[in-house]
Amino acid sequence: MAWISTDTTMGATVPGSVDSTAMVPLGTVRRFVETTLGEGEFIYLPGVASTAAGDVVSYQVTYGAAGATATTVRWTGTANTGTPLAVATAATVASTYGWYQVGGAAIVNINGTIAAGDDLFYQATAVVSASAVNGKQMLNAVATSANAVPSAGKAIVSIARPFAQGQVS
């Protein structure tokens, strides 16, 4: 994917890049455009061990007098958390930084058969499927392709600031 910034003041870092030092403040949100997937929205976060492109992660950004700090965790599917989710655009591992997608058409790691229009649920660490799991739905996300599009183990998913399902009572 060749993402291009829609903000001309932005630096050289784009989704899919892995930065060894933070190139923009943590929690920065920007829009980028790609010829096939269109416009997407991304948040700049620290990496976490074992992350692969397409992994679903949960994250938290905390703001204080010294600026923002952030943590990123490959989604473990803990039920009813209500935490924000994003999709890794690269293998942004521990001690690195990069862009995680929170809006638009994202390429997501999946397991099993998915069809366009399917809701998505936690399947395994950082991976989703169409098989319903109570309390573990990826809300504000819907499959817009079948499984194996654009490649094996992936699907294109339309996301709009997705989050893990919260407590239902």
106 pLDDT band, cuts 50/70/90, is: very high
Residue from 166, 168, 93, 169 nearest 126 by CA: 93
- CA pair distance 70, 46, nearest whole angstrom: 7
What pLDDT sits at residue 167? Answer: 72
Tokens of 134: 């109570």
Query: Which residue range(s) make up the domain with 76?
Result: 4-163
Give the number of domains in the chain: 1
Q: Does a cis peptide bond (omega within 30 degrees of 0) precede residue 46? A: no
| Average confidence (pLDDT) over 33-51 | 95
| Average confidence (pLDDT) over 42-65 | 96
Q: Is residue 130 in a domain?
A: yes
Q: Is residue 19 in a domain?
A: yes
pTM, rounded to two decimals: 0.92
119 pLDDT band, cuts 50/70/90, is: very high
- CA pair distance 59, 96, nearest whole angstrom: 15
What pLDDT sits at residue 111? Answer: 96
166 pLDDT band, cuts 50/70/90, is: confident
Residues 94/157/34/47 CA torsion (nearest 10 deg): -10
Contact status, residue 97 vs residue 45, Cβ threshold 8 Å: yes
Q: Is residue 169 in a domain?
A: no
67 pLDDT band, cuts 50/70/90, is: confident
What pLDDT sits at residue 122? Answer: 96
| Average confidence (pLDDT) over 112-121 | 96
SS3 143: strand
3-state percent breakdown (helix, strand, coil) of the chain, nearest 5: 0, 50, 50
Q: Find the farthest-apart pair of alpha carbons in the chain and give their distance in angstroms, rounded.
A: 47
Q: Is residue 168 in a domain?
A: no
What pLDDT sits at residue 59? Answer: 98
Residue entry with tokens 């679903």: 56
Whether the pLDDT of residue 3 is over 90: the answer is no
Whether the pLDDT of residue 6 is over 60: the answer is no
